[in-house]
């Protein structure tokens, strides 16, 4: 009878590695604790012991998962707030090409005036590989208020 609970603990523990939900980990722990308890108690009550451990450990697993997911949502994207250089744009889809981390990225402007080639912008969001930019306002010392015509237009 003890071997059944050891097998349940092993299968649930291995399955938990593929799901990452903590629910199967609670079942695996309940089965393992039941197998250990079976060394002392008779086999007729082990089903009730397993049920009792599940009733205690499953809510604990749910609480732990909820607590850990709340911490994961607080992680920030390290790209947000970083500066980029506008290389060219806009194209027909209002996409700009910017240089960031040594490579060229496609970007759209979410906030600020339309940038010119050579302007600086700040990343305010990301959608997959598309950067969303907030353009820094031009300084009053800029002599040209209009962008020079680009070769891509």
Residue 33's pLDDT is 93
> Can you give the pLDDT at residue 153?
45
Q: How far apart are CA 129 and CA 114, in angstroms?
A: 20
Distance CA 41, CA 104 (A): 67
- Residue 108, number of CB atoms within 10 A of its CB: 16
Q: What is the mean pLDDT of each run of 10 residues along the chain (153 residues)?
A: 90 89 88 93 89 92 78 65 87 89 89 83 86 77 55 48
Residue 4 confidence (pLDDT): 92
pTM, entire model: 0.47
In angstroms, the Cα distances linking 114 to 30, 53, 105, 140 are: 60, 62, 17, 16
């Amino acid at each position: 009878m003890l071997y059944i609970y050891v097998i349940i603990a092993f299968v649930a523990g291995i399955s938990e590695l593929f799901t990452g939900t903590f629910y199967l980990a609670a079942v695996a722990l309940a089965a393992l604790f039941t197998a250990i308890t079976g060394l002392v108690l008779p086999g007729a009550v082990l089903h009730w012991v397993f049920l009792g451990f599940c009733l205690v450990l499953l809510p604990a697993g749910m609480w732990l998962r909820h607590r850990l997911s709340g911490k994961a949502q607080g992680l920030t994207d390290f790209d947000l707030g970083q500066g980029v250089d506008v290389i060219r744009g806009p194209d027909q889809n209002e996409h700009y090409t910017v240089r960031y981390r040594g490579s060229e990225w496609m970007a759209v402007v979410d906030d600020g005036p339309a940038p010119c080639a050579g302007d600086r912008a700040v990343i305010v969001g990301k959608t997959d590989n598309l950067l969303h930019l907030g353009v820094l306002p031009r300084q009053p010392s800029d002599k040209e208020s209009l962008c020079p015509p680009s070769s891509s237009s």
